[in-house]
Amino acid sequence: MKTAVVVFPGSNCDRDLAVALELITGVKPAMLWHDDTELPAGLELIALPGGFSHGDYLRSGAIAARAPIMREVIEAAGKGTPVLGICNGFQVLTEAGLLPGALMRNAGLDFVCRDVALEVVTTETPFTKGYQPGETIRIPVAHHDGNFQADADTLDRLEQQGQVAFRYAEEVNGSARQIAGILNAKGNVLGMMPHPERVVEQAHGNTDGRKLFEGLLNVLA
């Protein structure tokens, strides 16, 4: 499976994501820089990592979302290429208009950094095929701006159309309807605040993130 990780100035989970992708797909991902203006041919997954792109200046993900490479990512997403945004990557996807809503400052104002319980809400996507519907998994979060907000109509639509991928099974950051991860209408773009790439091998103490990447591999390979 041919994958790529997009690196922005201030990304800091790009290497972890690359290590996880290589571990599971057996192939080193292409590392793309924010300034790049084209994508390698034949990509089967584009991954946007966590971190603090551009120092979270203006709004988290706002400046990265307007980077040259993002024009290519938006075009590829439109053509159906799977795009996964984790943490800051999720913020970038909302700022780029690939996903609805916005990620605001955590309701408690704290930076939240711990393992959280998540419910897998839908398994009808390549990203979540590896899980059981309703399964509870534990994935770490580490964010200050993870409070997902959208207007009531958008939230209703997300729920009715099966676009909520993951929900927090506990209070984490004040997100509307406990939403932890959402899909676009076509189901090929997933944004999530928790970090599946941090729980893919036994040494991590938990491998609940592994099924996300394995599910993708099974669908796409």
For 65, residues 6+ apart whose C-beta sits below 8 A from its C-beta are 92, 93, 95, 96, 97
- Least separation, in Å, of the C-beta of 42 and other proteins? 31
Of 104 and 217, which CB lies nearer to other proteins in the complex structure? 104
- Least separation, in Å, of the C-beta of 149 and other proteins? 6
Catalytic residue among 54, 87, 119, 143: 87
Nearest CA among 87, 92, 82 for reference residue 111: 87
Residue carrying structure tokens 């991860």: 181
Residue carrying structure tokens 């095929």: 129
- Least separation, in Å, of the C-beta of 65 and other proteins? 9
| Percent helix, strand and coil across the chain, each to the nearest 5 | 30, 25, 45
- Least separation, in Å, of the C-beta of 125 and other proteins? 23
Q: How does strand 30-33 pair with strand 45-48?
A: unpaired
Catalytic residue among 34, 54, 143, 195: 195
Of 100 and 209, which CB lies nearer to other proteins in the complex structure? 100
Of 128 and 178, which CB lies nearer to other proteins in the complex structure? 178
87 flagged as catalytic: yes
197 flagged as catalytic: yes
Of 62 and 169, which CB lies nearer to other proteins in the complex structure? 62
Interacting residues with other proteins (CB under 8 A): 58-59, 62-63, 66, 94-95, 100-102, 104-109, 147, 149-150, 174
List the helix and strand counts (H, then E) for the chain.
Answer: 5, 11
The answer to whether 167 and 179 have CB atoms below 8 angstroms apart is: yes
Active site residues: 87, 195, 197
